[in-house]
A and B are shown apart, each in its own frame.
Chain A
Amino acid sequence: MNSVRAGLSDAPESVVVGLARSGDRDAFAELVRRRQSWIRNLMRRCSGDTVLADDLAQQVFFKAWQNIGRLQSAGKFAAWLQRIAVNTWLQHVRAKDALQDATDLDDVATSVDHGARLSIDLNDALGTLSEGERLCVVLSYHEGMTHQEIADMTKMPLGTVKSHIYRGTERLQQVLAAYRETDREESAS
């Protein structure tokens, strides 16, 4: 078993994906080992909640296992997994109507002013964005996707994606400025 695992850990991803497509669970476990950090980080940026993020990441890999037989090309595994992750997040948002939960910027800015935080918490900053803005900003900054790629993946119009990223970036800059201000005040005192 350990030798199988050692062999898989050295194998190119396309080979491991090929084995997983044929139903090899050890190969799929190896894919989970390789890709979990990426997917869990992506889900953390999207949700801002580590427990929820891990639960969603589990769902992503479970869906991947159920559908890996339909994956056309082993070389497209990463893009395919990313699409499953984004769809899983969108389904979660729709199910929970999370748009209602987006925190208002003013509330966070106030809490930042009085919060005396020393470090910048990216998830808190992302929490000031609407779900749409947050997803587009995460896909742009965390995943390095172009606006067109984000529009294709999320099925949002390109103009909406652009405005989400523009407004999201502006809001993040405001929140970060507030953090820096707090930081400076604390350093001075």
Chain B
Amino acid sequence: MNEERDPRIQRLFADATENLGDDEFTARVMARIERHRRAGYRLWTFIFVMALLAAWMLQGPFQEIAMMLSRALAISLFQVDSPLVAQLVMPLNTIAGLLGLGVLALTFLYRRILA
């Protein structure tokens, strides 16, 4: 089937097209955008206030968790006797180092798969 169009139907479509430009429609669209923007502000303000409140209420437990995490991440994976070597491999010889390497490896693999 070719793409020829029935000229009568084509004309009908052309004749039926009205000029529908009016400022009222534009105002309605812009009012909707404004309402959405205000709702977004209200939501983010609420989230921010709740987050502040939660941080204030939970600061004690958070501090403890942070301390535990920082201690856990600094745990050595293997014992190194020489202090110089221990200093050199320290960034990798920790749970944090292992996690960092894992993230790097995953990022590399992700890029290779997507490329």
With a cutoff of 8 Å between Cβ atoms, the chain B residues found around residue A141 in the complex are: 5, 9-10, 13
Q: Are B12 and A176 in contact (CB under 8 A)?
A: yes
The proximity string for B residues 1-24 relative to A, scoring 1 for CB distances below 8 Å and 0 otherwise, is 101011011101100111111110
Q: Report the interface size for chain A: residues with CB under 8 A from the other chain.
A: 31
Asked whether any CB of chain B lies closer than 8 Å to the CB of A160, the reply is no
Q: Are B5 and A32 in contact (CB under 8 A)?
A: no
- List the one stretch of A10-18, A54-62, A92-100 in contact with chain B: A54-62
A166 CA to B3 CA in the complex, in Å?
A: 10
A54 CA to B25 CA in the complex, in Å?
A: 8
DSSP majority for the A interface?
helix
**Which positions 14-34 of chain A face chain B at CB distance < 8 Å?**
25, 28-29, 32-33
With a cutoff of 8 Å between Cβ atoms, the chain B residues found around residue A61 in the complex are: 29
Q: Are B1 and A162 in contact (CB under 8 A)?
A: yes
A36 CA to B21 CA in the complex, in Å?
A: 6
Asked whether any CB of chain B lies closer than 8 Å to the CB of A41, the reply is yes
- List the one stretch of B30-38, B71-79, B84-92 in contact with chain A: B30-38
Asked whether any CB of chain B lies closer than 8 Å to the CB of A140, the reply is yes
A54 CA to B13 CA in the complex, in Å?
A: 19
Query: In the complex, which of the residues B12, B17, B25, B33 contacts A41, with contact meaning CB atoms closer than 8 Å?
Result: B17
The proximity string for A residues 86-130 relative to B, scoring 1 for CB distances below 8 Å and 0 otherwise, is 000000000000000000000000000000000010110000000
Query: How far is the CB of A141 from the nearest CB of chain B, in Å?
Result: 4
Q: Are A37 and B20 in contact (CB under 8 A)?
A: yes
Query: In the complex, which of the residues A36, A120, A146, A172 contacts B26, with contact meaning CB atoms closer than 8 Å?
Result: A36
Asked whether any CB of chain A lies closer than 8 Å to the CB of B111, the reply is no
A132 CA to B19 CA in the complex, in Å?
A: 26
Query: What class of interface size applies to chain B in its complex with A?
Result: 20 to 34
Asked whether any CB of chain A lies closer than 8 Å to the CB of B112, the reply is no
Q: Are B9 and A37 in contact (CB under 8 A)?
A: no
Q: Are B30 and A25 in contact (CB under 8 A)?
A: yes
A91 CA to B10 CA in the complex, in Å?
A: 27
Asked whether any CB of chain B lies closer than 8 Å to the CB of A134, the reply is no
The proximity string for A residues 118-159 relative to B, scoring 1 for CB distances below 8 Å and 0 otherwise, is 001011000000000000000011100011000000000000
Query: How far is the CB of B68 from the nearest CB of chain A, in Å?
Result: 41
Q: Are A122 and B16 in contact (CB under 8 A)?
A: yes
Most buried by B among A61, A147, A162: A61
A146 CA to B29 CA in the complex, in Å?
A: 31
Q: Are A142 and B1 in contact (CB under 8 A)?
A: no
With a cutoff of 8 Å between Cβ atoms, the chain A residues found around residue B18 in the complex are: 37, 41
Chain A residues with a Cβ under 8 A of chain B: 25, 28-29, 32-33, 36-37, 40-41, 45, 54, 57-58, 61-62, 65, 120, 122-123, 140-142, 146-147, 162, 165-166, 169, 172-173, 176
Chain B residues with a Cβ under 8 A of chain A: 1, 3, 5-6, 8-10, 12-13, 16-23, 25-26, 28-30, 32-33, 36
A58-B28, A141-B13 given; 12 more Cβ-contact pairs under 8 Å: A25-B30, A28-B30, A36-B26, A36-B29, A41-B17, A41-B20, A65-B29, A65-B33, A141-B9, A141-B10, A169-B6, A176-B9
